[in-house]
Chain A
Amino acid sequence: MSEPLSSQFVNLLAALLLLLAFAMLSQRRVLTLIKLLAWQGAALAASTAIVAYATGQMHLYFSAGLTLVLKVILIPWVLHRLIDRLYIRWDVETLINIPTTMLTGIGLAIFAFSLATPISQMASTITRSTLGIALATVLLSFLMMIVRRKAVPQVIGFLAMENGLFFAATSATYGMPLVVELGVALDVLVGTFIFGIFFFHIREQFDSLDIRHMEKLRED
């Protein structure tokens, strides 16, 4: 594969990643959200593998494999099990004002690109133009966590943010050292399990996974 071709592929996948982030922002069904998260993980794994192939960095293959196992298979599987056990597989969230959220999202994406431009010009990696996309994905997931009122979509937003961060690491630097990536992956996995335990506790206590029940602690 010639370098321009592989870099075009990475750009394509990066665009897909951003598109999926926008799709998640406007998606109301919990089940579809999990599918979108798995697809985002797949796009991330594929782009990491292409960068690995194009640059011959062995440790990026590990990273791609790790992403595939963790973010495409394991975490979506855990989430599927969770929504089955919590009987919320067919939950539909009422989202107010999707157009405003999308417009805010576009604003965030533009902000991310302008912030990333001076840095990407310094990068020597083949994927440098995608740093803006990575930052935009992080910010969009952040926005998703703010606008969602239910626990599961909030956690999916958090995991999407982690995807964006991993993409930033590959696009700016060809990936962090392996030991760090392993540590981060471990944290994400443990975090997902703890979130899972939490869902049951919240559900037991409030009979619902709606965060609105949990706004009692405030200054009066």
Chain B
Amino acid sequence: MEIALVLGVPLAGALLLALFGHRRWAPEANAVMSLGTLVAAALLTARVIADGPFAAFDEQFFVDPFNVFLVALTAFVAFTTTLFSRPYMRTEEHHKRLNSARLRLYHSMYQLFTFTMLLTLLSNNVGMLWVAMEGATLTTVLLVSLYRTPASLEAAWKYFILCSVGIAQALFGTILLYFAAEKVLGAGGNALLWTHLYQVRSDLEPTVLSLAFVFMLVGYGTKVGLAPLHNWLPDAHAEGPTPISAVLSGLLLNVALYAVVRSKVLVDGALERNFSGGLMMGFGLLSVVVAAFFLSRQKDIKRMFAYSSIEHMGIMTFAFGMGGPVAAFAGLLHMTVHSLTKSAIFFTVGHASQACGTQDMGAIRGLIQQSPTIGWGLALGSLAILGMPPFGVFTSEFMVLTTAMREHPWATPFLLVALGVAFAAIFGKVQPMVFGETTAQRLPHPPALVPVFVHLAIVLMLGLYIPPYLVDWYRQAAAFIG
């Protein structure tokens, strides 16, 4: 019942806004529908806490500690992003960058995008998970090119082609998985149900599964933005409207990583040696290093934070690759804090680039004079994402690093150097943007900065104190990821 609500509300929102998305009250309607989704997700979470994991609708959907926490996070960030999107999109309209028809497309697709992400998370059928993931690409591609500038069209085309090709590899992986599963579970719908696959995972044919995992890692990894398949990510983040950059970075990448981790759990059951872990550690480490060195060369503020997302997705992939309760716990925590911090940063970046009329970091100066809240939001957000204590990112990165030192000492220097380079690059660029003589103008619509500080407050809290029920939740999910 709760699952139907979680999926039904955004779907209804998409239909409603497809009809009325150009009206004056559409941004508020968008926020109300997302609030509805958040309430539904909270009900679902409450039920899982009370009754434990369950499956529904002929076992096509299921909830366990791993996906329920991502559902709650997705619904929450999707809601706060709509709050940010209200003044942001109105200002864009005021600056004549968008017309009402485009806004209708934007609002409707935003809801549909939320729906596809939640469907990906809740689907028990590995095939449907693929379908929903491809759906998430399809709903966002027209949003990346929303401004119809040459650069945004190029970014959207690259995003579409690269992610479609990538995800086609994941479909091949899924076919191979079905091929292996069918021998054990018999033909038909059950052989793709994750809960069934999980029970028989040690009986699945190892050769087929390892090949399937390679295809799924490459496929879903393209969407995670793992190097060397990350090319689409900086372009799509920089050229699309900022609320979309926030949800792409904060949510979609997490959802794609979720798909990778789900596949990993199955493969680990079938294989004796740690084949999947090694691959994930390799891809993760490569992404961290590549992203760190690209960071210092960026001029566009959204591109820079997009590279920072690649870096952090690399850290999470590395953590899940190492495996074990501590690393998996750190990976889950990092998913949460990165999602909250990065979306908060994109909210301030959106307002900052509107106030200065550019995304070029050389032209953004002295934010703190014109609007102290935007300036402080950007400064604190950057410190949080750089892993400064006492923010939560520090906690998770510390856990990843200490586990790496103990279990894979060779990887530690790479991680430390990359984190240091990233720190120097981002800090050196954010500092002049925040302080100094201002170039910013007043915004026509008052910026929405409550979501920024709510996100940062939660990240700060997670750095100092994680509530016991949240710890339990992470522990259960981590135990099960292994």
Contact = CB atoms under 8 A, between A and B. Distances in A.
Interface of A: 115, 118-119, 122-124, 135, 138, 142, 145, 151, 154, 158, 161-162, 165, 168-169, 172-174, 176-177, 179-180, 183-184, 186-187, 190-191, 194-195, 197-198, 201-202, 204-206, 211, 213-217, 219-220
A204 B161 CA distance: 20
Nearest to A178: B189
Given A183-B127, A183-B128, A191-B138, A158 B148 contact: no
B205 interface: yes
Contacts of A158: 161, 164-165, 168
A98 to B, nearest CB: 22
Interface of B: 60, 125, 127-128, 130-131, 134-135, 138, 141-142, 145, 148-151, 153-158, 160-161, 164-165, 168, 171-172, 174-176, 178-179, 182-183, 187-189, 191-192, 205, 207-208, 211, 235, 239, 294, 297
A206 B153 CA distance: 10
B158 A173 contact: no
Contacts of B155: 217
Given A198-B160, A211-B157, 9 more contacts: A122-B183, A173-B182, A177-B127, A180-B128, A183-B131, A190-B138, A213-B150, A214-B150, A217-B151
Given A119-B176, A168-B175, A184-B131, A154 B148 contact: no
A180 B164 contact: no
A172 B179 contact: yes
7 contacts: A138-B168, A158-B165, A173-B182, A179-B125, A197-B142, A216-B154, A219-B294
Contacts of B134: 184, 187, 191
A214 B154 contact: yes
A111 B288 CA distance: 31
A120 to B, nearest CB: 10
A214 B168 contact: no
Given A187-B135, A194-B138, A154 B161 contact: yes
A167 to B, nearest CB: 10
B168 A194 contact: no
A162 B127 CA distance: 15
A179 B189 contact: yes
B150 A176 contact: no
Contacts of A205: 148-150, 153
* Smallest CB-CB A-B distances: 7 pairs: A180-B127, A183-B131, A214-B154, A177-B189, A187-B134, A172-B179, A173-B179
A138 to B, nearest CB: 7
B142 A176 contact: no
Nearest to A169: B175
Interface SS, A side? helix
B181 to A, nearest CB: 9
B387 to A, nearest CB: 25
A115 B208 CA distance: 11
B150 A206 contact: yes
Contacts of A179: 60, 125, 127-128, 189
A62 to B, nearest CB: 14
A176 B131 contact: no
A129 B236 CA distance: 41
A201 B148 contact: yes
A5 B135 CA distance: 40
A133 B235 CA distance: 35
B179 A123 contact: yes
A14 B208 CA distance: 22
Contacts of B239: 217
Contacts of A142: 165
| Residue in B150, B176, B179, B182 with the greatest tally of chain A CB atoms within 10 Å | B179
Contacts of B156: 198
Contacts of A183: 127-128, 130-131
A173 B157 CA distance: 33
Nearest to B171: A165
A191 B171 CA distance: 15
B131 A187 contact: yes
A194 B148 contact: no
A47 B155 CA distance: 38
A161 B168 CA distance: 8
B297 to A, nearest CB: 6
Contacts of A135: 172
A123 B187 CA distance: 13
Given A119-B211, A187-B131, A194-B141, A214 B157 contact: yes
Contacts of B160: 194-195, 198
Nearest to B300: A217
B172 A165 contact: yes
Nearest to B60: A179
A36 B304 CA distance: 43
